[in-house]
Amino acid sequence: MATFVLIAHWLACIWYAIGNAERTLLTKNIGWLHSLGNDIQEPYFDNNTGGPTIKSRYITALYFTFTSLTSVGFGNVAPNTDAEKVFTICVMLVGSLMYASIFGNVSAIMQRLYSGTARYHTQMLRVREFIRFHQIPNPLRQRLEEYFQHAWSYTNGIDMNSVLKGFPECLQADICLHLNRKLLTTCSAFSGASPGCLRALSLKFKTTHAPPGDVLVHKGDVLTSLFFIARGSIEIQRDNNTVVILGKDDIFGENPCNYATIGKSNGNVRALTYCDIHKIHRDDLLDILDLYPEFSESFANNLILTYNMRD
Protein backbone atom coordinates (compact mmCIF):
# COMPACT_ATOMS: atom_id res chain seq x y z
CA MET A 1 0.00 0.00 0.00
CA ALA A 2 2.84 2.41 0.82
CA THR A 3 4.40 1.63 -2.57
CA PHE A 4 1.11 2.40 -4.27
CA VAL A 5 0.84 5.79 -2.55
CA LEU A 6 4.47 6.64 -3.36
CA ILE A 7 4.01 5.85 -7.07
CA ALA A 8 0.80 7.91 -7.11
CA HIS A 9 2.76 10.84 -5.62
CA TRP A 10 5.48 10.60 -8.26
CA LEU A 11 2.94 10.42 -11.07
CA ALA A 12 1.09 13.42 -9.61
CA CYS A 13 4.33 15.42 -9.73
CA ILE A 14 4.84 14.45 -13.39
CA TRP A 15 1.21 15.31 -14.17
CA TYR A 16 1.69 18.75 -12.63
CA ALA A 17 5.00 19.25 -14.48
CA ILE A 18 3.29 18.51 -17.81
CA GLY A 19 0.46 20.93 -17.10
CA ASN A 20 2.80 23.65 -15.86
CA ALA A 21 5.14 23.32 -18.86
CA GLU A 22 2.33 23.40 -21.42
CA ARG A 23 0.68 26.36 -19.69
CA THR A 24 3.57 28.57 -20.83
CA LEU A 25 4.37 26.82 -24.13
CA LEU A 26 0.93 26.43 -25.71
CA THR A 27 -0.96 29.34 -27.18
CA LYS A 28 -4.34 27.84 -26.31
CA ASN A 29 -5.33 27.71 -22.67
CA ILE A 30 -6.73 24.18 -22.69
CA GLY A 31 -4.46 22.39 -20.21
CA TRP A 32 -5.74 20.84 -17.01
CA LEU A 33 -4.27 23.64 -14.89
CA HIS A 34 -6.22 26.28 -16.84
CA SER A 35 -9.38 24.18 -16.53
CA LEU A 36 -8.84 23.82 -12.78
CA GLY A 37 -8.28 27.57 -12.38
CA ASN A 38 -11.45 28.40 -14.29
CA ASP A 39 -13.50 25.82 -12.34
CA ILE A 40 -12.53 27.21 -8.93
CA GLN A 41 -12.56 30.82 -10.20
CA GLU A 42 -8.84 31.33 -9.74
CA PRO A 43 -7.77 31.70 -13.39
CA TYR A 44 -4.31 32.29 -14.78
CA PHE A 45 -3.58 35.69 -16.33
CA ASP A 46 -1.62 36.45 -19.48
CA ASN A 47 1.41 37.57 -17.46
CA ASN A 48 1.62 34.06 -15.88
CA THR A 49 0.23 35.23 -12.57
CA GLY A 50 -2.80 34.00 -10.67
CA GLY A 51 -4.05 30.45 -10.76
CA PRO A 52 -4.89 27.94 -8.00
CA THR A 53 -2.77 27.64 -4.89
CA ILE A 54 0.05 25.07 -4.79
CA LYS A 55 -1.99 23.07 -2.26
CA SER A 56 -4.98 22.92 -4.58
CA ARG A 57 -2.79 21.97 -7.57
CA TYR A 58 -1.07 19.13 -5.68
CA ILE A 59 -4.29 17.71 -4.24
CA THR A 60 -5.95 17.82 -7.67
CA ALA A 61 -2.95 16.16 -9.35
CA LEU A 62 -2.87 13.45 -6.67
CA TYR A 63 -6.62 12.95 -6.98
CA PHE A 64 -6.26 12.51 -10.75
CA THR A 65 -3.46 9.93 -10.47
CA PHE A 66 -5.34 7.94 -7.81
CA THR A 67 -8.53 7.82 -9.87
CA SER A 68 -6.58 6.89 -13.00
CA LEU A 69 -4.58 4.17 -11.24
CA THR A 70 -7.59 2.55 -9.58
CA SER A 71 -10.18 3.12 -12.33
CA VAL A 72 -10.58 5.12 -15.53
CA GLY A 73 -11.13 8.41 -13.72
CA PHE A 74 -14.32 10.37 -13.11
CA GLY A 75 -13.89 13.03 -15.81
CA ASN A 76 -13.88 16.06 -13.51
CA VAL A 77 -10.10 16.28 -14.02
CA ALA A 78 -9.50 15.31 -17.63
CA PRO A 79 -6.57 15.41 -20.06
CA ASN A 80 -7.02 17.90 -22.86
CA THR A 81 -3.67 18.19 -24.64
CA ASP A 82 -1.88 15.42 -26.53
CA ALA A 83 0.86 15.18 -23.89
CA GLU A 84 -1.72 14.89 -21.11
CA LYS A 85 -3.60 12.17 -22.99
CA VAL A 86 -0.43 10.14 -23.64
CA PHE A 87 0.54 10.43 -19.98
CA THR A 88 -2.96 9.39 -18.88
CA ILE A 89 -2.75 6.27 -21.05
CA CYS A 90 0.56 5.39 -19.40
CA VAL A 91 -0.92 5.96 -15.94
CA MET A 92 -3.83 3.64 -16.72
CA LEU A 93 -1.45 0.92 -17.91
CA VAL A 94 0.64 1.29 -14.77
CA GLY A 95 -2.53 1.19 -12.68
CA SER A 96 -3.67 -2.04 -14.31
CA LEU A 97 -0.34 -3.74 -13.56
CA MET A 98 -0.23 -2.41 -10.00
CA TYR A 99 -3.81 -3.41 -9.31
CA ALA A 100 -3.08 -6.96 -10.42
CA SER A 101 0.24 -7.25 -8.58
CA ILE A 102 -0.43 -5.39 -5.33
CA PHE A 103 -4.14 -5.80 -4.66
CA GLY A 104 -4.19 -9.24 -6.23
CA ASN A 105 -1.74 -10.36 -3.55
CA VAL A 106 -4.14 -9.26 -0.83
CA SER A 107 -6.54 -12.09 -1.64
CA ALA A 108 -3.64 -14.56 -1.70
CA ILE A 109 -2.46 -13.32 1.70
CA MET A 110 -5.97 -13.64 3.14
CA GLN A 111 -6.26 -17.16 1.76
CA ARG A 112 -2.97 -18.13 3.39
CA LEU A 113 -4.10 -16.62 6.70
CA TYR A 114 -7.30 -18.65 6.72
CA SER A 115 -6.02 -21.79 4.98
CA GLY A 116 -5.52 -23.55 8.32
CA THR A 117 -9.07 -22.73 9.41
CA ALA A 118 -10.44 -23.95 6.09
CA ARG A 119 -8.51 -27.22 6.37
CA TYR A 120 -9.76 -27.69 9.94
CA HIS A 121 -13.41 -27.27 8.94
CA THR A 122 -12.94 -29.56 5.93
CA GLN A 123 -11.46 -32.33 8.08
CA MET A 124 -14.08 -31.87 10.79
CA LEU A 125 -16.80 -32.13 8.16
CA ARG A 126 -15.32 -35.44 6.99
CA VAL A 127 -15.30 -36.73 10.58
CA ARG A 128 -18.95 -35.78 11.05
CA GLU A 129 -19.94 -37.33 7.73
CA PHE A 130 -18.19 -40.52 8.83
CA ILE A 131 -20.12 -40.43 12.12
CA ARG A 132 -23.46 -39.95 10.36
CA PHE A 133 -22.79 -42.59 7.72
CA HIS A 134 -21.84 -45.27 10.26
CA GLN A 135 -24.41 -44.09 12.84
CA ILE A 136 -21.83 -43.79 15.60
CA PRO A 137 -23.55 -43.49 19.03
CA ASN A 138 -23.29 -40.19 20.89
CA PRO A 139 -20.69 -41.13 23.55
CA LEU A 140 -18.30 -42.48 20.91
CA ARG A 141 -19.11 -39.58 18.62
CA GLN A 142 -18.09 -37.11 21.32
CA ARG A 143 -14.82 -38.96 21.86
CA LEU A 144 -14.06 -38.86 18.14
CA GLU A 145 -14.67 -35.13 17.88
CA GLU A 146 -12.71 -34.34 21.06
CA TYR A 147 -9.77 -36.40 19.88
CA PHE A 148 -9.79 -34.67 16.50
CA GLN A 149 -9.90 -31.21 18.12
CA HIS A 150 -7.09 -32.04 20.54
CA ALA A 151 -4.91 -33.64 17.88
CA TRP A 152 -5.43 -30.65 15.57
CA SER A 153 -4.51 -28.16 18.30
CA TYR A 154 -1.32 -30.14 18.94
CA THR A 155 -0.26 -30.73 15.32
CA ASN A 156 -2.15 -27.95 13.47
CA GLY A 157 -3.34 -30.62 11.06
CA ILE A 158 0.18 -31.56 9.94
CA ASP A 159 0.75 -35.29 9.59
CA MET A 160 4.36 -35.74 10.64
CA ASN A 161 4.62 -39.17 9.01
CA SER A 162 3.49 -37.80 5.65
CA VAL A 163 5.98 -34.94 5.91
CA LEU A 164 8.87 -37.24 6.85
CA LYS A 165 8.23 -39.55 3.90
CA GLY A 166 9.41 -36.82 1.57
CA PHE A 167 12.90 -36.73 3.11
CA PRO A 168 15.80 -39.21 2.99
CA GLU A 169 16.19 -41.58 5.92
CA CYS A 170 19.25 -39.80 7.32
CA LEU A 171 17.32 -36.54 7.49
CA GLN A 172 14.30 -38.32 8.95
CA ALA A 173 16.52 -39.60 11.76
CA ASP A 174 17.80 -36.09 12.50
CA ILE A 175 14.25 -34.72 12.61
CA CYS A 176 12.96 -37.53 14.84
CA LEU A 177 15.99 -37.17 17.11
CA HIS A 178 15.17 -33.49 17.52
CA LEU A 179 11.48 -34.17 18.20
CA ASN A 180 12.24 -36.86 20.80
CA ARG A 181 15.38 -35.27 22.25
CA LYS A 182 13.82 -34.51 25.65
CA LEU A 183 12.71 -38.10 26.21
CA LEU A 184 15.99 -39.61 25.01
CA THR A 185 18.16 -37.30 27.11
CA THR A 186 16.17 -37.29 30.37
CA CYS A 187 15.06 -40.93 30.64
CA SER A 188 17.68 -43.02 32.45
CA ALA A 189 16.86 -46.06 30.31
CA PHE A 190 18.57 -44.43 27.30
CA SER A 191 21.62 -43.08 29.14
CA GLY A 192 23.91 -45.79 27.75
CA ALA A 193 22.83 -45.45 24.12
CA SER A 194 25.30 -44.40 21.44
CA PRO A 195 24.41 -41.60 18.99
CA GLY A 196 23.61 -44.18 16.30
CA CYS A 197 21.39 -46.09 18.70
CA LEU A 198 19.53 -42.92 19.69
CA ARG A 199 18.90 -42.11 16.02
CA ALA A 200 17.53 -45.60 15.45
CA LEU A 201 15.30 -45.35 18.52
CA SER A 202 13.98 -41.92 17.56
CA LEU A 203 12.73 -43.28 14.23
CA LYS A 204 10.61 -45.88 16.02
CA PHE A 205 8.87 -43.63 18.55
CA LYS A 206 5.28 -42.58 17.89
CA THR A 207 3.25 -39.95 19.72
CA THR A 208 -0.31 -40.58 20.86
CA HIS A 209 -2.71 -37.78 21.86
CA ALA A 210 -5.59 -38.58 24.19
CA PRO A 211 -8.45 -36.39 25.50
CA PRO A 212 -9.82 -36.81 29.04
CA GLY A 213 -11.77 -40.02 29.49
CA ASP A 214 -10.17 -41.83 26.57
CA VAL A 215 -9.13 -45.42 27.36
CA LEU A 216 -5.67 -46.06 25.95
CA VAL A 217 -5.36 -49.70 27.00
CA HIS A 218 -8.12 -52.11 28.03
CA LYS A 219 -7.74 -54.98 30.45
CA GLY A 220 -6.64 -58.08 28.57
CA ASP A 221 -5.11 -56.14 25.66
CA VAL A 222 -1.79 -57.41 24.38
CA LEU A 223 1.06 -55.19 25.60
CA THR A 224 2.61 -54.48 22.23
CA SER A 225 4.16 -51.13 23.23
CA LEU A 226 6.09 -49.39 25.98
CA PHE A 227 4.61 -46.02 26.99
CA PHE A 228 6.31 -42.79 28.17
CA ILE A 229 4.08 -39.94 29.40
CA ALA A 230 5.20 -36.58 27.99
CA ARG A 231 2.25 -34.48 29.22
CA GLY A 232 -0.92 -34.97 31.22
CA SER A 233 -2.00 -37.61 33.71
CA ILE A 234 -3.61 -41.05 33.47
CA GLU A 235 -5.13 -43.54 35.87
CA ILE A 236 -4.84 -47.31 35.86
CA GLN A 237 -7.95 -49.15 37.01
CA ARG A 238 -8.45 -52.72 38.12
CA ASP A 239 -11.94 -54.01 38.94
CA ASN A 240 -13.30 -50.45 38.67
CA ASN A 241 -10.86 -49.25 41.31
CA THR A 242 -8.06 -46.78 40.65
CA VAL A 243 -4.77 -48.50 41.38
CA VAL A 244 -2.38 -45.67 40.54
CA ILE A 245 -2.31 -42.24 38.91
CA LEU A 246 0.63 -41.53 36.62
CA GLY A 247 1.89 -38.21 35.29
CA LYS A 248 4.65 -36.58 33.28
CA ASP A 249 7.85 -38.65 32.82
CA ASP A 250 6.22 -41.83 34.17
CA ILE A 251 6.63 -45.11 32.25
CA PHE A 252 4.11 -47.94 32.02
CA GLY A 253 3.80 -51.19 30.09
CA GLU A 254 6.25 -54.06 30.48
CA ASN A 255 10.00 -54.49 30.17
CA PRO A 256 10.42 -56.61 27.02
CA CYS A 257 13.92 -57.65 28.13
CA ASN A 258 12.50 -59.59 31.08
CA TYR A 259 9.92 -61.66 29.21
CA ALA A 260 10.25 -63.96 26.22
CA THR A 261 6.55 -63.71 25.36
CA ILE A 262 4.15 -60.80 25.05
CA GLY A 263 2.05 -60.19 28.13
CA LYS A 264 -1.50 -58.93 28.54
CA SER A 265 -2.70 -55.86 30.39
CA ASN A 266 -3.87 -56.31 33.98
CA GLY A 267 -6.04 -53.18 33.94
CA ASN A 268 -7.52 -50.26 32.03
CA VAL A 269 -5.48 -47.15 31.28
CA ARG A 270 -7.66 -44.02 31.12
CA ALA A 271 -6.63 -40.43 30.45
CA LEU A 272 -7.58 -37.96 33.19
CA THR A 273 -6.43 -34.88 31.27
CA TYR A 274 -5.27 -34.14 27.75
CA CYS A 275 -2.27 -36.41 27.35
CA ASP A 276 0.68 -36.69 24.99
CA ILE A 277 2.29 -40.10 25.22
CA HIS A 278 5.36 -41.43 23.42
CA LYS A 279 5.31 -45.12 22.65
CA ILE A 280 7.63 -47.61 20.98
CA HIS A 281 6.50 -50.97 19.65
CA ARG A 282 7.91 -54.02 21.42
CA ASP A 283 9.20 -55.62 18.21
CA ASP A 284 10.90 -52.39 17.09
CA LEU A 285 12.58 -52.03 20.47
CA LEU A 286 13.81 -55.63 20.49
CA ASP A 287 15.18 -55.24 16.96
CA ILE A 288 17.22 -52.22 18.04
CA LEU A 289 18.47 -54.03 21.15
CA ASP A 290 19.64 -56.88 18.91
CA LEU A 291 21.47 -54.42 16.66
CA TYR A 292 23.12 -52.69 19.63
CA PRO A 293 23.91 -55.50 22.13
CA GLU A 294 26.12 -53.19 24.19
CA PHE A 295 23.04 -51.05 24.86
CA SER A 296 20.72 -53.98 25.57
CA GLU A 297 22.06 -54.76 29.04
CA SER A 298 22.18 -51.09 30.01
CA PHE A 299 18.58 -50.60 28.91
CA ALA A 300 17.34 -53.67 30.81
CA ASN A 301 19.02 -52.51 34.01
CA ASN A 302 18.16 -48.80 33.79
CA LEU A 303 14.54 -49.08 32.64
CA ILE A 304 12.43 -48.38 35.71
CA LEU A 305 8.73 -48.93 35.10
CA THR A 306 6.48 -46.68 37.14
CA TYR A 307 3.82 -49.34 36.75
CA ASN A 308 4.20 -52.84 35.31
CA MET A 309 1.01 -53.69 33.47
CA ARG A 310 1.80 -57.33 32.73
CA ASP A 311 -0.89 -59.63 34.08
Could you report the per-residue pLDDT of 235-261, keeping only the tens digit for each? 999 988 999 999 999 999 999 998 989
How open is the CA angle 276-130-207, to the nearest 5 degrees?
15
Report yes or no: 271 and 227 within 8 Å, Cβ to Cβ: no
List pLDDT tens digits, range 35-80: 888 778 887 776 667 788 889 989 999 998 888 888 766 667 888 8
Torsion of Cα atoms, 257 then 260 then 262 then 268, to 10°: -50
Contacts with 120 (C-beta within 8 Å, 6 or more apart), sequence order: 152, 157
Report yes or no: 12 and 59 within 8 Å, Cβ to Cβ: no
- The CATH 2.60.120.10 portion of the chain extends over 160-308
Least confident of 93-97, 219-223, 265-269, 276-280: 93-97
CATH code assigned to 2-103: 1.10.287
Entry pTM: 0.64
In which band, very low, low, confident or very high, does the pLDDT at 233 lie, cut at 50, 70 and 90? very high
- The CATH 1.10.287 portion of the chain extends over 2-103
**Considering the domain 160-308, what is its CATH architecture?**
Sandwich (2.60)
Amino acid at site 228: F
Q: Is residue 304 helix, strand or coil?
A: coil
